[in-house]
Each structure stands twice: as structure tokens, then as C-alpha cells.
């Protein structure tokens, strides 16, 4: 979470923006929570959807299964999706899925799985 929040701060710095309003959904929510924790002075306000601020480390076995599947490559992931649905994916979706970088998807899955939460920071947050 710290690496992605540092990236957001670096982009703000590069653009010459001292403070911003932030909207994040799902993984973008986790990133926003990271900035709220590590650089709260950079946000005027924060809106998060599809992600809670509470730790979830080690509670999602399905994420570990997803990681193991991704380690086998995108062909294996697509084959599993098709087997589960009982039909082949539409060609455009199949091509898009195969074009994904499994290492990047693994990194995102690990970040979500290991998200430690920001419960300790919530009481001190002053931005709406």
C-alpha cells in the first residue's frame, strides 16, 4: 500500500498539486487509504467505494487460489473461467484476458489480501 500511495504523491508533486480530492474504487480505494495514512495532508477530501478500511490480511483463501492459478499463466486462468462457466469466453474478452500480465495481477491480489487496514488512522483523519 505504501508504494502505491507514494506513487500518487509523486504524481501530485510532478503536476504541482499540493492537495487534491480523491475518489477510489476497490484497489483504488486501498491506494487512497494508503495516502490518507501516509500523507493525509495531500487530500482535501476522500471518497472510497468498494473497499472497507479494516484489515483483512490472511482471511481470504480464494485470493490464494487466484494467485496459484495466475502462477500457471493466463491461458490456465482463461481455461478455468471457461470450465467454470461451461462455455468459451467471447473472442474479445478472451483476447483481453490473455493480454493481462499475470505478475501484475498477482501483485494486486497480494496487496488486497495483505491489506492491513487503517483502523488506527480513522480517528485522526480530518478530511471529509
In this prediction, residue 59 carries a pLDDT of 59
User: What pTM value is reported for the model?
Assistant: 0.73
pLDDT at 25 over 80: yes
Sign for the CA dihedral angle at 111, 103, 22, 37 comes to positive
In this prediction, residue 79 carries a pLDDT of 95
Q: What is residue 23's DSSP assignment? A: E
* Cross-strand bridge partners of residue 47: 23
Angle at 107 between CA 24 and CA 42, to 5 degrees: 35
Domain boundaries, the chain: 2-56+117-124, 61-110
Per residue in 32-87, pLDDT tens? 999 999 999 999 999 999 988 887 655 577 788 889 999 999 999 999 999 999 99
pLDDT at 95 over 70: yes
pLDDT more than 70, % of the chain: 97
pLDDT at 103 over 90: yes
In whole angstroms, give the CA distance from residue 53 to residue 118: 6
Is there a contact between 109 and 67 (Cβ–Cβ < 8 Å)? yes
Amino acid at each position: 500500500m505504501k508504494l502505491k500511495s507514494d506513487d500518487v504523491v509523486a504524481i501530485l508533486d510532478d503536476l504541482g498539486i499540493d492537495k487534491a480530492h480523491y475518489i477510489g474504487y476497490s484497489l483504488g480505494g486501498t491506494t487512497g487509504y494508503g495516502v490518507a495514512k501516509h500523507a493525509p495532508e495531500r487530500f482535501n477530501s476522500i471518497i472510497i467505494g468498494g473497499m472497507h478500511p479494516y484489515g483483512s490480511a490472511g482471511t481470504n483463501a480464494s485470493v490464494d487460489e487466484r494467485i496459484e492459478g495466475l502462477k500457471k499463466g493466463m491461458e490456465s486462468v482463461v481455461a478455468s473461467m471457461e470450465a467454470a462457466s461451461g462455455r468459451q469466453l467471447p473472442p474479445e474478452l478472451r483476447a483481453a484476458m490473455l493480454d493481462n500480465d499475470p505478475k501484475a495481477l498477482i501483485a494486486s491480489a497480494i496487496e488486497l489480501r495483505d491489506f492491513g487496514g487503517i483502523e488506527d488512522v480513522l480517528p485522526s483523519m480530518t478530511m471529509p
